[in-house]
Amino acid sequence: MKIKVNGKTQEFNQAQIGLIELLQLNKVTNPELVSVQLNGLFVKREAYQETSLHENDEVDFLFFMGGGSLSTLNI
Partner 1 sequence: MEFTDSQTERYSRHIILQDVGVEGQIKISEGKVLIVGAGGLGAPVALYLAAAGVGTIGIIDGDVVDLTNLQRQVIHFTPDVNKAKVLSAKEKIAQLNPEVKVIAYQELLSTYNIFDIIKEYDIVVDGTDNFPTKFLINDACVLAQKPFSHGGILRFEGQTFTYTPGNACYRCVFDSPPPPNVVPTCSQAGVLGSIAGMLGTIQATEVLKFLVNKGELLTNRILTFNALSMDFRTIRFGKNTNCPICGEHPSITGLQTYELPACDLKH
Q: Is 65 in the site for partner 1 (CB under 8 A)?
A: yes
Are 50 and 36 in contact by the 8 Å Cβ rule? The answer is: no
Nearer to partner 1 among residue 2 and residue 45 (C-beta): 45
Alpha carbons 40 and 45: distance in angstroms, whole number: 15
Nearer to partner 1 among residue 15 and residue 70 (C-beta): 70
H/E stretch holding 19 reads: helix 19-25
Are 1 and 15 in contact by the 8 Å Cβ rule? The answer is: yes
Residue 14 Cβ vs partner 1, minimum distance, rounded to whole Å: 26
- Contacting positions for partner 1 (CB under 8 A): 6-7, 30, 32-33, 35, 37, 40, 42, 44-45, 60, 62-75
